[in-house]
Structure 1
Amino acid sequence: MQTVTHRLQSLFAAKRNILNIYFTAGFPQLQDTVRIIRALSAAGADMIEIGMPFSDPLADGPTIQQSSQQALDNGMSLRLLFEQLKDIRQYTDVPLLLMGYLNPVIQFGVENFCRAAQEVGIDGLILPDLPMHEYLSEYKPVFERYGLFNIFLITPQTAEERIRQIDELSQESFIYMVSSASTTGAKQGFSDEQRRYFERIAAMQLKSPKLIGFGISDRATFEGACRYAEGAIIGSAFINLLSQSTDLETDIQQFVAALR
């Protein structure tokens, strides 16, 4: 197995059109977490985002909110998630990210959380409500001590100065480029306004890789996003698949194949 610090860099150095798939831990069934990761890895996903369910997910649309609530109702917790993931690196070498909100991390204890994440082989964290100044002053040394990259998000409203600052902090990982100011959820194609945003960011010639998320749902939107970035992130469309699936392994294989 590669070391935690090198999985993300190796992926971006080797590949374009990177497919990152998000799912909510503990959904649809409490013990499905590892099964889904293994199936995604076998199907050819390049990176996997594991959602940490939270009762008040501000940036998430109804699909992911519902999956989060179902996972909590199933009994999902951070402690259980780390227990489920304890042997995951025996089964996959793809980069694994934990995505969620700051409150559960603080409740768990930041140092304890980072230590547990390192122990199971997590590569990076996406915490959309972690302010940059707090990250720099309090969290960065802890994250780095445990080999964890913090993934920053930018939106169409993010000021150029902040984008440049995020770029400086993201060169060993990537920038999560939110495609619109709305919540997560599948959309039909990109608007002219979104394309202008993608072109504006491309013209900035940032040093860090970028993945586009929010509104990516099928091959057309995935390929469209890949024209402007190193890859894209699919969440709600995959959660919809999981909620309807009667055969996870087969359905996940077909889902990923349909995107390529």
Structure 2
Amino acid sequence: MKKLNIYFTAGIPQLEDTVEIIKIIQDSGADMMEIGMPYSDPVADGPVIQQAHERALKNGMTISTLFSQLKSIKNEIKIPIILMGYINPVLSFGFENFCRECSESGVSGLIIPDFPPIEFENYQKILEKYNLNFTFLVTPETSNKRIVYLDSLSSGFLYAVSSSSTTGNGTSVLKNEDYLSRLASLSLKNPVMIGFGIKSKEDFENVTEKADGGIIGTAFVNILLQNRDWKKNVIDFIHSIKE
């Protein structure tokens, strides 16, 4: 069974909805989740998730608030929670302090797309101290040698971006056979999860033919932003992928 990873931005539609969304994702059958930490300049994200960041910041979401929310349900959540965000807010919070809070909040891993791999060695011991996985991203343009290198640094899984675009880009190439075959041919230590542009069960099945799972973000976030009846709609959406 291929693993489904759901991404959403903390603090939307309203500040206090994060806890309920986490529970819904778990109860609806997702295998793991990524929670985005809102940031004022989310350069790797497309318009929908940028809008989510803006709304979450307006709602008052902060890293400290998110940790407080996570701690309130730590004992109820059994699937992995990964925090995703940008390096500047994490460094401002203090890297070790951030990792300590992650550990105390039930977080199992981090994805920081703008974290330079060359710096990883300086932070690896802190991550290990707090038992946190760290996932790097690869794209169709990443060389085999670089993919193997980033896989060697990663733990938990390797995030394979489906195309070289921002998240939610409607032009992303989901059935990139050469790229997916290339990933499958490499001797990687981590499971490969495909992300960017997955909007339906068909998309999910296409990209996971040669991978271990898929990550859905923009399509899920869009429901949270656009639908008043978002609770029912997100449950139906996850069920439609998992059925």
Match of 1:12 in 2: none
The 3-state SS of whatever aligns with 1:93 is coil
| Cα deviation, residue 191, structure 1 | 5.6
Amino acid at match of 2:2: N
Match of 2:109 in 1: 124
Contact 1:187 1:217 in 2 (8 A): no
1:67 paired to 2:49: no
Match of 1:102 in 2: 87
Distance in 2 of aligned mates of 1:109 and 1:133: 19
TM-score w.r.t. the length of structure 1 is: 0.89
1:173 to 125, 144, 156: 156
Amino acid at match of 1:222: F
| Cα deviation, residue 88, structure 1 | 2.2
Q: Deviations over 1:159-213 (max 9, x none)?
A: 222211122233x411000011100005378466x22111111122323210000
Match of 1:229 in 2: 211
Contact 1:186 1:237 in 2 (8 A): no
Match of 2:147 in 1: 163
**Percent of residue pairs bearing the same amino acid type:** 49
Amino acid at match of 1:57: P
| Cα deviation, residue 219, structure 1 | 0.6
Q: How many residues align?
A: 242
Distance in 1 of aligned mates of 2:228 and 2:84: 26
Distance in 2 of aligned mates of 1:249 and 1:92: 18
1:51 paired to 2:33: no
Distance in 2 of aligned mates of 1:257 and 1:186: 23
Distance in 2 of aligned mates of 1:208 and 1:114: 22
1:150 to 134, 150, 156: 134
Distance in 2 of aligned mates of 1:18 and 1:210: 10
- Return 85-94 or 226-235, whichever deviates more: 85-94
- CA spacing shift, 1:189–1:115, aligned 2, 3 Å: closer
Unaligned runs of 5+ in 1: 1-15
Contact 2:23 2:77 in 1 (8 A): yes
Taking the TM superposition and a 5 Å limit, the aligned residue runs for 1:231-250 are 231-250=213-232
| Cα deviation, residue 239, structure 1 | 0.7
Distance in 2 of aligned mates of 1:252 and 1:157: 33
Contact 1:186 1:216 in 2 (8 A): no
The 3-state SS of whatever aligns with 1:49 is strand
Contact 1:125 1:149 in 2 (8 A): yes
Q: Deviations over 1:5-28 (max 9, x none)?
A: xxxxxxxxxxx3100000000011
1:202 to 178, 184, 188: 184
Amino acid at match of 1:165: Y
| Cα deviation, residue 113, structure 1 | 0.5
Amino acid at match of 1:160: N
Q: Deviations over 1:209-246 (max 9, x none)?
A: 10000011111110111102100000000011111232
Contact 1:47 1:95 in 2 (8 A): yes
1:37 to 22, 37, 47: 22
1:140 paired to 2:92: no
Unaligned runs of 5+ in 2: none
